[in-house]
Copies of this chain bind each other. A is one copy, B any other.
């Protein structure tokens, strides 16, 4: 059995999230259906991040085991020919039999996009959260930095489930990068500001990033001082975080592995 790893991208709008569920259109289910057509075998496809309904992925990583003799490039082409255009399979490679896209990931980067202009261009509304209200960028950026490091993130955990790590019983997570960026999106279609919250960590709990951003927005509105964020973390109380932001502003940007330990073949354009 070969173990194959692919980088994929999807528009989360049309899917009920990553995870296969009976009667629902999911990314995992759609991929498995196509793989079954291609190989006549039903196998489980694992993803680095089990994104929720509406969340997009630019650089999700998946793996699955197959007896198919097709080269990864042929499989990639066949996937893209049969999948809807809202899921695209990028570079693929054969990896060691034990490689697991979720357990072996050493870092994941998420981005939350907030569109600050008054009118959201019709080409963007599925991909950004719109917030044209007054927000204190400096306060939010200062608070964003405070997430960096190892913390018990109970305050930012969803009441049920764990997005990433069933194995991890702990609510302690390490954040390597946590930054609010101001992006001038002045292309021909609009001239407006977009704020992107970018967070890189080994793993995240379910809804964690969306709750972190919801808390940053409350700081931006002046409901809390940036320094109060540390007290909020220390409370370890789920009811104390800001609101969970809507899913459509969230993007799984990329996933990192201890390269090239798990690779049997050289990596594609990941």
A interface residues, Cβ below 8 angstroms from B: 9-11, 56, 58-59, 80, 85-90, 111, 119-123, 125, 127, 188-191, 251, 253-254, 269
Which residues of B lie under 8 Å from residue A191 when comparing CB positions? Answer: 269
Task: Report the Cα distance A191→B58, complex, angstroms.
Answer: 11
User: Would B86 and A122 count as touching, CB distance under 8 A?
Assistant: yes
Which residues of B lie under 8 Å from residue A11 when comparing CB positions? Answer: 122-123
User: Would B119 and A88 count as touching, CB distance under 8 A?
Assistant: yes
Query: Would you give the shortest CB distance from A99 to chain B, in whole angstroms?
Result: 23
Top 10 A-B pairs, shortest CB-CB distance: A58-B189, A11-B122, A85-B125, A86-B122, A88-B119, A88-B122, A10-B122, A188-B253, A9-B122, A11-B123
Please tell me which one of the listed residues B56, B121, B122, B190 contacts residue A123 in the complex, with CB atoms under 8 A apart: B56
Stoichiometry, as copies per complex, reads 2
Q: Which of A121, A189, A190 has the most CB of B within 10 A?
A: A189
Task: Report the Cα distance A191→B90, complex, angstroms.
Answer: 12
User: Would B189 and A119 count as touching, CB distance under 8 A?
Assistant: no
- Cβ-closest chain B residue relative to A8: B122
Which residues of B lie under 8 Å from residue A58 when comparing CB positions? Answer: 121, 188-190
Query: Would you give the shortest CB distance from A89 to chain B, in whole angstroms?
Result: 7
Which residues of B lie under 8 Å from residue A125 when comparing CB positions? Answer: 85-86
- Cβ-closest chain B residue relative to A76: B119
User: Would B9 and A88 count as touching, CB distance under 8 A?
Assistant: no
User: Would B119 and A90 count as touching, CB distance under 8 A?
Assistant: yes
Could you show 15 A-B contacts with beta carbons less than 8 Å apart?
A9-B121, A9-B189, A10-B122, A11-B122, A58-B121, A58-B189, A85-B122, A87-B122, A88-B119, A90-B119, A111-B188, A188-B251, A188-B253, A188-B254, A191-B269
Task: Report the Cα distance A189→B127, complex, angstroms.
Answer: 12
- Cβ-closest chain B residue relative to A130: B85
Query: Would you give the shortest CB distance from A190 to chain B, in whole angstroms?
Result: 8
Which residues of B lie under 8 Å from residue A120 when comparing CB positions? Answer: 85, 88
Which residues of B lie under 8 Å from residue A188 when comparing CB positions? Answer: 58-59, 111, 251, 253-254
Task: Report the Cα distance A59→B111, complex, angstroms.
Answer: 29
Query: Would you give the shortest CB distance from A100 to chain B, in whole angstroms?
Result: 25
Task: Report the Cα distance A9→B187, complex, angstroms.
Answer: 14
Task: Report the Cα distance A189→B11, complex, angstroms.
Answer: 11
